[in-house]
Structure 1
Amino acid sequence: MMIYKELKITDLVPELLNDFDRHEKIYRAWRLRDDGSEYLKDIYYEENWDNNELLCICNELKSTFEKGGSVFAAFDESKLVGFASLENEFFGSKKQYIQLSNLHITNSHRHKGIGKTLFNMCIDKARELKASKVYISASSCENAQTFYRCMGCILTKEVNKKLYNLEPFDYHMEYIL
């Protein structure tokens, strides 16, 4: 049985991510041409998190809490199978954005609606916080882009330069609340 909940900082122990499998083979990714048009590029790479990366992610989630943000999780029984985080810092020319900083589903549980549920939990929280838009720096890989576009996300109208510099190949998107 799937259980969804908002986590507390005390839930964020390194062991929480022990069995989390981020492995994914990427075969195509979206790219932008100079004229602004998009195209799918054949590309191959693998995403995978080692123990050091898992520890960094856990610390990143703790930092989200320390700054007043929220972390949501999906559990299959007691095993973590997905998580999402929403920051609490507003930015943009009108302070209209709040960032969805993480949304990950373990390999064995993808394509089961877990990402959609976690995304919607973040959207509900963003509405509670009176944000106008949710900002997402999303992987340009075909699967991630298919997901976010199906959720109603579009390319952002206002790029956050700090986030862009961290991930220049990401697609910087927004979800209008």
Structure 2
Amino acid sequence: MYTYKSMQKEDAHQLVQIDRSEEINYVYEMQDGKLIERNAGHECPSWDDTLMIELQERFVYELSHGGTALGAYDGDLLIGFGVLGHEFRGEQQDRLVIDLMYVSRNYRRQGIGTKIMDELSNEARKRGAKYLYVSSTETRSAVYFYKHQGCDLTNEVDSELFAKEPLDIHMLKPL
């Protein structure tokens, strides 16, 4: 059985244990407020050194400013994690962002991501959020995962997050 525990800034070095690789057959793009599916047919590799440094810096930044992270472990091996951002967003300042969310390739479709989302949703509720905001990668697997978690497309796209990753699919999950 897997264990779940809160992660600290000092745990950033563990992120290299996550295998983010996947075969990407389909991606989505937003067009006139609708999801359009496109064939992709390529393999997404795991992290290169530059991406890993960026990921670790983002992890440390969020946790340093009041965000929270939950890790899933198989023994001592980090197999999944999620980060709830620290900053309230939206016109009503009532949403918190799922800033990072990954489950290692060999551990997907076992409920690990769902458990992490449930725990981060509970934490967001405790902090007073009414919604989770998700800026999802455009892959079918990621979009399906978030839709299965209760997220729907939003017309209220966060301009800062959109500017960082304009291909992402932006969603809200009511809490």
TM-score bucket (shorter structure): over 0.9
1:123 to 112, 121, 124: 121
Cross-structure match for 1:46? 43
Cross-structure match for 2:108? 110
* TM-score, length basis structure 2: 0.93
1:161 to 153, 159, 170: 159
**Relative to structure 2, which stretch is displaced further, 3-12 or 144-153?**
3-12
1:146 to 144, 147, 165: 144
How far apart are residue 167 of structure 1 and its match? 1.1
> Counterparts of 1:135 and 1:84 in 2: how far apart (Å)?
13
Q: Is the 8 A contact 2:30 2:169 kept in 1?
A: no
**Relative to structure 2, which stretch is displaced further, 144-153 or 37-46?**
37-46
How far apart are residue 157 of structure 1 and its match? 3.7
- Tell me how many residue pairs correspond in the alignment: 174
Q: SS of 1:18's equivalent?
A: helix
* TM-score, length basis structure 1: 0.92
**Relative to structure 2, which stretch is displaced further, 107-116 or 3-12?**
3-12
- Map Cα deviations across residues 2-43 of structure 1 (whole Å, 9 max, x no partner): 01011122333x2x1333211112111122333x33331112
> Counterparts of 2:112 and 2:19 in 1: how far apart (Å)?
15
> Counterparts of 1:65 and 1:145 in 2: how far apart (Å)?
25
**Relative to structure 2, which stretch is displaced further, 150-159 or 78-87?**
150-159
How far apart are residue 45 of structure 1 and its match? 3.4
Q: Is the 8 A contact 2:135 2:169 kept in 1?
A: yes
> Counterparts of 1:58 and 1:64 in 2: how far apart (Å)?
10
Cross-structure match for 1:3? 3
**Relative to structure 2, which stretch is displaced further, 43-52 or 137-146?**
43-52
Q: Is the 8 A contact 2:80 2:103 kept in 1?
A: yes
Q: SS of 1:61's equivalent?
A: helix
The alignment yields a C-alpha RMSD, in angstroms, of 1.3
Cross-structure match for 1:133? 131
How far apart are residue 54 of structure 1 and its match? 1.9
Cross-structure match for 2:82? 84
1:90 counterpart letter in structure 2: F
